[in-house]
Chain A
Amino acid sequence: MTNRELSRREYLQAMTAAGLATLAGGAPKLRAEPVAHPKASADTVILLWMAGGMGAPDTFDPKRYTKFEVGVPVDKILSTFPSIDTVVDNIKLTEGLEHVAKVMDRGTLIRSHVVADLGNILHSRHQYHWHTGYVPPQTVACPHIGAWMARVLGPRNPAIPAFINIGQKLEGHGESEELKAFTTGGFFGTEFGPFNLPFPSDAVEAVKPPKGMTPERFAARHAKFKELLKASPVGEMATDHHHESMLKSIENAHRLLTSKERDAFDITKEPKASYDKYNTGRFGLGCLLARRLAESGARFIEVTTEYVPFLHWDTHENGHTTYARMKKEIDRPIAQLVLDLEQRGMLDRTLVVLASEFSRDMMIEGIPGSTARDQSRAKTDKLGELKHYGLHRHFTGSGSVLMFGGGIKKGNLYGETAAERPLVTTKNPVSIRDLHATIFHAMGVSPKTAFDVEKRPFYATEDGKGVPVLDLFAKGK
């Protein structure tokens, strides 16, 4: 047994039931029935979240390109970027993704991710669905997939929180409450919830003594707390589980705040050349932070481009210009992350997934025939000005997902979409449920893993019915 495994075991013992959400029906327990877990091909997941709905035809699924010209009928337009070659013959991307194009031989591109059409489109509902595997509303608080990993697998290193969420502010914008609804440990409780780091550059603050407090004072304060505790006339109460688990949690927190692994959170410790490669903005630095945390032993890391209503990927007009900027932000850091993981010998055991809550189309809202309201903000029949170029209605009939490492096939293209509108999936559809099952499978967790919640089984994938897409894995897995 390695030291790391040993410490993980100790950590799990130390956790007791701390932080379990107390539920209407009592705390959730792993179901007695054993499920057969697959052999893991990955130890860590890095989810690169394209928040706000990334349109595939202008990113990873190029279609017929139409240049901007005044007077062009908008329903003729499929892609607003020309396609580019990648290092894999049959995989083309759109202009602006040249760095990712160079690492496509390290992973798989899925073009057939089909998500549910929930009628009237609300980003946060689809994001809830993608992150928890369940369509809201639900009668119990569903855990984020990262919380599942934290609960079932635990941390790889007890000094690093198992589930880390990078880049998303949870306060101060229109749908922040909705984001909180799925950015959570759900019924597993906060022990398994996300460690939120909205600003990668400030991440180290989250594991340092509070602002204005020297490490010496911080250490002394903790020592005095222990002294007071020792002098405190607790008597027999010390044996109570509330009491005991409280002290364990306080010690766990203190260990994180004083461990040497804290350096992983400090991206200024990265050599300048490397830092600069990632520094395209918050998302790029988030990728750098994710790599450092993966190296130090995080279990599940999400890095988001950040969801703020009508920002970034959430565009309903002027999509072309916005996408040019977004691609600039994501292209180089993603490629660098893959290369860095490979160079460190970690890519084989680290699964990198890029996904979004749905795709977009110039003309169609939802899926063909959907009742969803047309939310384009610059409705027109013909291109008049640049803001008409990339109207980007929400589209659920197909979408792109990238996967690198963690046992996934290399240089592989999976699924297919129609050449002409509607750009629906024509081959090998992959649902959220099965995509989650695939991620769980890579991590060695059965998609049928279940916990008893209010006496009912609640499964890792919806109703326990997720089926991993085994075709996505390299042979031998």
Chain B
Amino acid sequence: MKKSYKIDVDCANCANLMEQAAKKTDGVKDCAVSFMTLKMKVEFEEGADADAVMKAVRANCKKVEDDCEIYL
């Protein structure tokens, strides 16, 4: 299952960091963050609860870049 989320982040490197943080979150199979379109595309693991996983993704992203936001 793939979903796309709107995000807000200030710098390109921070977007890369968010991508890595999201990829490491449990339940996320793959993730691509586009700084230019301010979109995060997440591919979830089979049977994962998207909402719960995204909350964890957001928490992890906030850890690496406290200014970022993912609009769930």
Indicate whether A and B interact.
no
B→A interface (CB under 8 Å): none
A→B interface (CB under 8 Å): none
